[in-house]
Structure 1
Amino acid sequence: MPDSTPEFVPLSAETWPLFEQLFGPGGVQGGCWCTFFRLANQDYRAAGREGRKEHLRAEARDGKPLGLLGIVDGEPLGWVAVSPRKDNPRLASSRVMASDEPGAVWSVTCFYLHRRGRRRGLATALLRAAVDYAVEQGAETVEGYPVEPGPRSTSSDLYHGTTGMFADAGFEVVEKRGAARALVRRRSTVAR
């Protein structure tokens, strides 16, 4: 597959078919459909795979900011979830992801790359596009919750992104959270 410049498009009612193509019939990660942080624990469990899919589809139809798809040569190969922190209720109750940063804070909660999109810089490009998108939408601060990969890390361990990837995109470590996690932050440089 030739390396082409990726295009980044927000998830919306119009781009939903591309998202569904990327996530496949199962919705990756046990049918998450990238709703784990968007739903409270009991709602997530009660919804089931199809309910989670319909929840996210309804949010896309309503025009909520959810994230960006990375399209390469017309094919969806990557996804980054980026949205206002307040739209992700599970973050507040997480020991790893809790934050008291004031203002318009957006969160990068997860990445998904199709196997054909891996090892070509797409995740880093998605992260940079996510920051730009969040700032365009009014974010004053963008946070992430990456992992420090270890020798036994697999691609499924890295769905939060890596600390190195966030550092390369201009994020600063606010606090290490355990041996393998961190809270990172990048403030907008756009004058308001």
Structure 2
Amino acid sequence: MATTPLVRSDGLTVHPATHARFDDVRTMVGPKDPSSSVCWCLSHRIPAKDNRELAGQARADFVEALTRRRTKPGVLAYDGGEVVGWAAVAPRADLPFARSTRIPHVDDLPVWSVWCLRVRPGRRGRGISHLLLEGAVAYAVERGAPAVEGYPVDNRGEKVDLTMAYVGTRKLFEDAGFAMAAATEATSAGFPRVIMRRNDLG
């Protein structure tokens, strides 16, 4: 399973979520109870109706199938051999965001979206979110993305509830070279969400 990482820093590496790494995807986004119908990072990947209908093991099977596709469903961060983070990244055209009435299209570019960043408890504070975002951008570039955008909260330095922090913060994206492209009508954890965009991917 040894592959060249997308990015590396201080013993941390980021790799695409290949099928060989599916157990690590499960660790990061799968529920503790395999029969549970939550999470698996599907709420913004597939239409709401499909998300409601997928239950239990079918959710795991769906995500496993995603890891078999040529374009992987996200990237994973590792500390040595231990998985410590996940970021979902995909072409916006393949996601419900393509039809969103709350998060507008900035332009007609076939942009990719990063909409979920997760770091394992006990591993926060090491810059893993920053490395995940960098790795997600690197993977999108590798797959031909002309631009990458995210939809974080504009919390202006205020604390964000950890259960809703998966969307990221405006500062996180700014630190990664993203610039605000538009306001949205969406909110998370009581904060407005904004579109952050990186066009300089060369």
Please give the TM-score of this superposition, normalised by the length of structure 1.
Answer: 0.87
Q: Secondary structure at the match of 2:60?
A: helix
Aligned residue in 1 for 2:140: 134
Matched, 1:76 2:83: yes
Aligned residue in 1 for 2:169: 162
Aligned residue in 1 for 2:127: 121
The answer to whether the 8 A contact 1:96-1:182 is kept is no
Unaligned runs of 5+ in 2: 1-8, 186-190
Percent sequence identity over aligned pairs: 33
The 5 Å alignment of 1:54-93 reads 54-88=61-95, 90-93=96-99
RMSD over aligned Cα atoms = 2.3
Aligned residue in 2 for 1:171: 178
Shifted more, 146-155 versus 108-117: the winner is: 146-155
Q: CA deviation at 1:145?
A: 0.2
> For residue 192 of structure 2, what is the amino acid of its counterpart?
A
Q: Of 29, 32, 39, which aligns to 1:32?
A: 39
Q: Of 175, 188, 191, which aligns to 2:200?
A: 188
1: distance between equivalents of 2:159 and 2:128? 22
Aligned residue in 1 for 2:116: 110
Aligned residue in 2 for 1:147: 153
Shifted more, 155-164 versus 96-105: the winner is: 96-105
Shifted more, 141-150 versus 38-47: the winner is: 141-150
2: distance between equivalents of 1:15 and 1:82? 16
2: distance between equivalents of 1:94 and 1:26? 30
2: distance between equivalents of 1:23 and 1:151? 26
2: distance between equivalents of 1:144 and 1:124? 13
The answer to whether the 8 A contact 1:77-1:116 is kept is no
2: distance between equivalents of 1:26 and 1:68? 21
1: distance between equivalents of 2:101 and 2:26? 31
The answer to whether the 8 A contact 1:128-1:169 is kept is yes
Q: CA deviation at 1:160?
A: 0.8
Q: CA deviation at 1:159?
A: 0.6
The answer to whether the 8 A contact 1:104-1:138 is kept is no
Q: Of 11, 17, 22, which aligns to 1:16?
A: 22
Q: Secondary structure at the match of 1:174?
A: strand
> For residue 128 of structure 2, what is the amino acid of its counterpart?
L
Aligned residue in 1 for 2:52: 45
Q: Secondary structure at the match of 1:117?
A: coil
> For residue 22 of structure 1, what is the amino acid of its counterpart?
M
Unaligned runs of 5+ in 1: none
Q: How many equivalent residue pairs?
A: 187
Q: CA deviation at 1:4?
A: 4.2
2: distance between equivalents of 1:24 and 1:65? 16
